[in-house]
Amino acid sequence: MTTTTEPSLNRVIGPGLLLLFVIGDILGTGVYALTGKVANQVGGAVWLPFLLAFVVALLTAFSYLELVTKYPRAAGAALYTHKAFGLHFLTFMVAFAVMCSGLTSASSAAKAFAGNFGSALHADVPTTLVALGFMLLVALVNFRGVGESVKANVVLTCVELTGLLIVIVIGALALTGGKGDLSRLGDFNTQPGDSVILSVTAGTALAFFAMVGFEDSVNMAEETRDPSRTFPKVMLTGICLTGVIYVLVAISSVALVSPAALGEGETPLLKVVQAGAPGFPISVFAWITMFAVANSALINMMMASRLLYGMANEGVLPRILGRVHASRRTPWVGIVFTTLIAFGLIWFADLTALGGTTALLLLCVFTVVNVAVLVLRRDRVTHRHFRAPTVIPVLGALACAFLASPLSGRAATDYRVAGILLVIGVVLWAITYAVHRRTEHPARGH
């Protein structure tokens, strides 16, 4: 164990705030834009991939719960990998993959925010500059303190929940009023010679992007009151609620709008609102979408900065990344570092194809975490903690590995983009490793 003179993080998150954090992080940007893409992949049975993605996420959540209650510290998957396998390279790459998923998600959310900002104002705005300004605002809220950040999350989560409930209610009222076509729910979009199973697994691999986010909450363990007791019921409740919401949104969407029309463009849920309630003020939904993606950005940037803080304290990353501000008690160096990377992604990167890549990286991480649970069963701790039935992490590891493999029908683009990101990660690991060796074994003078 290593000692540090940095002040501890502030434990201000209770069960209610943690539940809204989990729900807000899972809902986020994915469901507002992904429903149409899944419908394109699988057809009218769009609800099935979301249901299967929920089951896979739930299996992995049990593994996270055992580990976060056993080791209630920031850093999440990277910490568990470090403890289970003790391989610096593997730990670094897991941390890098998780951080990349958070930063690409937050950066794409910032761009989506800027696009919806222009639509809501009915004006032509410089989207890149608006996205950069928005990301700076997120950094300031993050630096201000975790209490302020999670309170902002409460407001934004309520807004994005309202948007999805509007879709569900409009769908229910339209269907009871004789509109829509529930027979589409059993249709599969397959060409002659295609497999229905492959179509569903490919759709599930894509829909899984909408279910990720629950894993971010474990990085807030050092700022949660009594995490060993709080996390199990809160995380499971959050995942189950969002899973039900996703399936209901998928049913409402495909019943009111044909899968082909739903898959066109970037605003599938807007089409559902227009079809089910033509008199509903569409600009209101644009504002709701804008706040929903804002919440995704805030939560992902909080996660990324806490991950760097946790791994710096574990000695896997340079110590400077674990610096905590004396008065605000937030990991300010990690916040600055992740914000600068996000600025670069917003300015240079085209993030439209990164949804599948983000899901691919996280599925690989989840496979490692499910295996780590079994490895760490030999490590005893003195306090009581949650324990998942052994069969659950085994099934979770197999399901995540399958969805990450080419057998699931995943697009080749996902592997190309992930490969580029991982090469960058290997380079950064080599630099970090060299710095550590020089620090621990300085050259001797003659």
Ordered by start, the domain boundaries in the chain are: 15-438
Task: Tell me the C-alpha distance between 151 and 185, whole Å.
Answer: 38
The per-residue pLDDT for range 208-248, each reduced to its tens digit, is 878 887 877 776 777 777 777 888 888 899 999 999 999 99
The Cα–Cα gap between 287 and 265 comes to 18
Count of CA atoms in the C-beta half-sphere (13 A) of 183: 1
Token pair 């919440």 is found at 295
pLDDT at site 396: 95
Is residue 157 over pLDDT 80?
A: no
Say which range, 28-32, 182-186, 194-198, 384-388, has the weakest mean pLDDT. 28-32
For the structural domain made of 15-438, what CATH number should be given?
Answer: 1.20.1740.10
Q: Is residue 33 over pLDDT 80?
A: no
Under 8 Å between Cβ of 381 and 70 = yes
The C-alpha angle with vertex 292 and arms to 45 and 180, in degrees rounded to 5, equals 35
Instruction: Give the closest residue to 157 by CA, choosing from 241, 244, 225.
Output: 241
Q: Which amino acid is at 402?
A: F
Answer for the pair 77, 306: CB distance below 8 angstroms, yes or no: no
- Pairwise pLDDT comparison (9 vs 188), residue with the higher score: 188
20, 216 in Cβ contact below 8 A? Answer: no
CA dihedral for 294, 295, 299, 300, sign (positive or negative): negative
Count of beta carbons in the 10 Å neighbourhood of residue 359: 28
Burial of 377 (0-12, 13-18, 19+ CB in 10 A): middle
pLDDT tens, residue by residue, 53-100: 999 999 999 999 999 888 877 667 888 898 899 888 898 888 888 888
- pLDDT for 149: 63
Q: Determine the average pLDDT of the residues in 159-172.
A: 90
- Amino acid (one-letter) located at 241: L
Helical segments of 257-324, H only? 259-262, 268-276, 282-313
Q: Quick one: pLDDT band at residue 207, thresholds 50, 70, 90?
A: confident
Of the candidates 63, 69, 83, the one whose C-alpha atom is nearest the C-alpha of residue 388 is 63
State yes or no: pLDDT of 306 exceeds 90: no
> pLDDT grade, residue 1 (50/70/90)?
very low
Q: How far apart are CA 82 and CA 376, in angstroms?
A: 11
pLDDT per position as a tens digit, 373-401: 999 999 888 888 889 999 999 999 999 99
pLDDT at 3: 43
pLDDT computed for residue 85 by the predictor: 92
Look up residue 203 and give its two tokens.
């759709």
Residue 384: how many other CB atoms lie within 10 Å: 10
pLDDT-derived band at 353 (thresholds 50, 70, 90) equals low
What would the pLDDT profile of 324-351 be if each residue is shown by its tens digit? 877 777 888 889 988 988 888 788 765 5
* Residue where the block lists tokens 């894993």: 215
What CA–CA distance (Å, rounded) separates 302 from 99? 11
What is the number of H-type helices and E-type strands within the chain?
16, 0
